[in-house]
Chains A and B, each alone.
Chain A
């Protein structure tokens, strides 16, 4: 097996349908230690399984709380789930007595089947490619996968001569592709999209600065994502604290017509969508996209096109490498947005009504600096 590739089914090697290979009543590979008698102590258990049917037990789990102090003294699992002859390792432990003492635990798998246990990169950026464990760090797994292939295309692919005579275009999508900002972290789509909205009014604040403010405002957690319902409040507070001539408004229940009106007014709003529905052409398998249904995502609307072959929206999607000027059929876009009540956030030029703020921490030096160095907003370019 080419160590730089995954199985044909795109699944890690250690996955298997729930089975009980040796009939001991315990699912192979799906076993954890437990306090089955409810005394708050982890019970001693030994389990083995022959997952590949060769008559040799290749899976074992041992847990033991010999002194009954509630902490597993021995808790180890080994398995050869990808049948490469090398034991993969996985173990889980509990704190069922709630004493706050961590039990022993390790997790590692051999995802790419090269016989070396892989570990995921630590840190918040879980989007980092997994690589072999430090023991094999001299030969890192440099897996590179083919880019996603969609039926859709990006805006510039269709911007041929005479294009504007065939399509009624709202907004300036070819120009606004330059607003695109790929998200820095796996859960920062709304942060990146907010940065794109700022760019659309001539500010280039930067994702780091916005993330910092959003985190302080408790609407963004790098491990969870962003609460879309308070983005406008925080942007307005940022604007007040920094004397920005803009304000933000959340809107619901938008229609294609109302979006067109926004685009004509120069607004390039954030739209909340179901990412799976947005990118599913209707013929793709779950393992071709790998996106959980109803997965929340934020994108920026930059254009609407109406033509004989149908209506399309043009978006800047921060989550995909080909996300700048990504075209989606209008009906699919509406379906993806419907899951979130056709929710959006618009950044609008012009000061908000109130000039006061209850959040002095919003007055960030970094924001002032960003304003001073801003150079790439749409308004600036038009000037």
Chain B
């Protein structure tokens, strides 16, 4: 075993060696069914590159997907699309797919945006319980979620969290 590998393994045991590609634009959690009457959170991470002179941040295709217990932060799975299985293999990593901010939040200031994010997050517990119980979501949650969520995220959620996507009411 090389020194580098030994060093790394030692750090695994120390709990400091694992690395997650977790930088970028995090989507708000989507609900995915778990055990009976329970849900997990699914979050996507889109690579994000600030373009300061353009006054925007380029968003690239999702680079990773994280599944956690709802509201606990306990990671159930982590899928690195760049180095592991890629469900969207033909999508290039070099071309942005969208820009931040999107239109519905573009004219919020940062303080207002933060407040709206807090309002959305505070609705997650109730919305999660309702989703787990009857597969629906409170309309307030849906409206706020769709306002704050970048539209480019939705097509990905359509495939990775289809039940949640359906509940957003975007399809008839």
Contacts and interface: CB of A to CB of B under 8 A. Distances in A.
Interface of A: 9-12, 15-18, 20, 23-27, 29-32, 34-36, 92-96, 98, 100-105, 107, 119-120, 122-124, 126-127, 129, 145, 147-148, 186-187, 218, 221, 223-225, 227, 275-277, 280, 282-293, 295-296, 319-321, 358-359
8 smallest CB-CB distances across A and B, nearest first, come from A25-B172, A290-B56, A105-B90, A287-B106, A358-B3, A286-B101, A102-B90, A32-B155
A31 B151 CA distance: 11
Given A10-B56, A127-B49, A285-B108, A27 B94 contact: no
B47 A223 contact: yes
A145 B52 CA distance: 11
Given A18-B154, A31-B155, A358-B7, A290 B57 contact: yes
5 contacts: A11-B101, A11-B103, A30-B170, A32-B158, A126-B51
Contact of B151 (A9, A10, A15, A104): A15
A36 B166 CA distance: 12
Given A9-B106, A286-B107, A18 B170 contact: yes
A34 B117 CA distance: 30
A307 B169 CA distance: 56
Contact of B100 (A126, A147, A186, A290): A290
Contacts of A11: 99, 101-103, 106
A4 B100 CA distance: 20
Given A27-B170, A283-B109, A286-B108, A95 B86 contact: yes
B15 interface: no
B57 A292 contact: yes
A122 B154 contact: no
Nearest to B3: A358
Contact of A127 (B51, B88, B162): B51
B163 interface: no
Contacts of B3: 358-359
A275 B86 contact: no
A319 B52 contact: yes
Interface in B63-95: 63, 82, 85-95
User: How big is chain B's contact interface, by range?
Assistant: 35 or more
A240 to B, nearest CB: 13
A107 B91 CA distance: 8
A280 B110 CA distance: 8
Given A122-B94, A287-B101, A293 B113 contact: yes
B42 interface: no
Given A16-B103, A275-B50, A284-B109, A92 B55 contact: no
B97 interface: yes
Nearest to A9: B106
Nearest to B56: A290
A252 B100 CA distance: 31
